[in-house]
């Protein structure tokens, strides 16, 4: 597995189409905070035109597998898909999976852009291929409700997918970058996987206070805190075993020859006046050089490798 050598501090999960980013991900600060104040992001308690609300951790619908396949693409289903899109937009998200509104059905919706032309209704999806290249970014989730309940998640840079659209037509697509990340996040929901299941131990520990608060708010006896073991073991790409650290930059001084004028050879009026070689002097110039970490700050050997730079911050 090749991991990109710079962590893009996008909290990519994710802002609304009206914001800088375009599901079920909420936009967080672009600086990772270590301060935990228990200030929770509250989801709307109702949405106009629908009885559905956001299903929050640890309700069992988020962990229940398998989800029911979509077999009828009738008017009832079309209406449901439109309700999901409406909830997604009202929640300022870029994607929403059926389990997130309490439905254990194999469908999610998303829109990774500012344009409604990019709306997608994804039924009975499969990811047939994952790239070995991964991008590490911060992710959060509406179903986790908290701006502090976020952490690093490694996702494949590109994926190959198969699914049916809202009309039941088969679609085969190769997705990359941000759209691939959104698709993978929503696909996880259909497998009972939440982004916190992919956090490295440090981020899971940092978020544990808010996770415990969500557990405390749910008083029923059927709380489902953990994912299905088989689905967890089958996750692709695998969760990070430690936080990813971007490469270090160090300053180096390099000497560069600079011309300073002409020499008179053996003297101003002697042989070769003005015809000598250009004299030079050494000038020091400071340049930054990227240095890969040596792995001493992590027990994960993948962090010793360097690769391409993760895609730049979106604007």
Positions marked active-site: 186
Structure tokens at 212: 């415990």
Cβ burial of 27 (10 Å; 0-12, 13-18, 19+) is buried
C-alpha–C-alpha distance, residues 215 and 290, integer Å? 43
Residues 56 and 145 sit within 8 Å (Cβ to Cβ): yes
DSSP sequence for 102-150: T--BSEEEE--SSSGGG-EEEEEEEEEEE-SEEEEEEE--GGG-BSSS-
Based on its alpha-carbon atoms, the radius of gyration of the chain, rounded to whole angstroms, reads: 26
C-alpha–C-alpha distance, residues 88 and 44, integer Å? 11
Instruction: Name the residue among 48, 44, 63 with its Cα closest to residue 102.
Output: 63
């Amino acid at each position: 597995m090749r991991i990109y050598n710079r962590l893009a501090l996008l909290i990519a999960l994710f802002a609304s189409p009206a914001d800088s980013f375009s599901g079920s991900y909420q936009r967080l600060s672009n600086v990772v905070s270590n301060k935990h104040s228990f200030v929770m992001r509250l989801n709307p308690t109702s949405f106009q035109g629908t009885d559905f609300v956001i299903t929050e951790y640890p309700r069992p619908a988020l962990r229940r597998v398998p989800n029911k396949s979509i077999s009828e693409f009738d008017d009832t289903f079309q209406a449901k898909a439109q309700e999901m899109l409406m909830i997604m937009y009202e929640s300022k998200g870029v994607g929403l999976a059926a389990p997130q509104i309490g439905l254990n059905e194999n469908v999610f919706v998303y829109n990774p852009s500012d344009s409604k032309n990019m709306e997608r209704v994804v039924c009975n999806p499969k990811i047939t291929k994952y790239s070995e290249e991964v991008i590490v970014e911060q992710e959060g989730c509406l179903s986790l409700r908290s701006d502090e309940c976020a952490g690093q998640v490694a996702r494949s840079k590109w994926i190959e997918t198969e699914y049916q659209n809202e009309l039941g037509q088969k679609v085969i697509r190769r997705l990359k970058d941000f759209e691939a990340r959104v698709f993978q996040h929503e696909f996880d929901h259909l497998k009972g996987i939440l982004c916190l299941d992919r956090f490295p131990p440090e981020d899971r520990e940092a978020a544990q206070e808010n996770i415990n608060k969500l557990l405390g708010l749910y008083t029923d006896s059927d709380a489902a805190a953990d994912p299905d073991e088989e689905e967890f073991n089958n996750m692709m790409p695998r969760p990070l075993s430690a936080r990813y650290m971007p490469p270090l930059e160090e300053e180096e001084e390099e000497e560069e020859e600079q011309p300073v004028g002409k020499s008179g050879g053996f003297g101003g009026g002697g042989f070769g006046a003005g015809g000598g070689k250009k004299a030079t002097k050494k000038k020091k110039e400071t340049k930054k050089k990227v240095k890969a970490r040596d792995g001493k700050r992590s027990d994960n050997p993948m962090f010793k490798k360097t690769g391409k730079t993760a895609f730049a911050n979106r604007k």
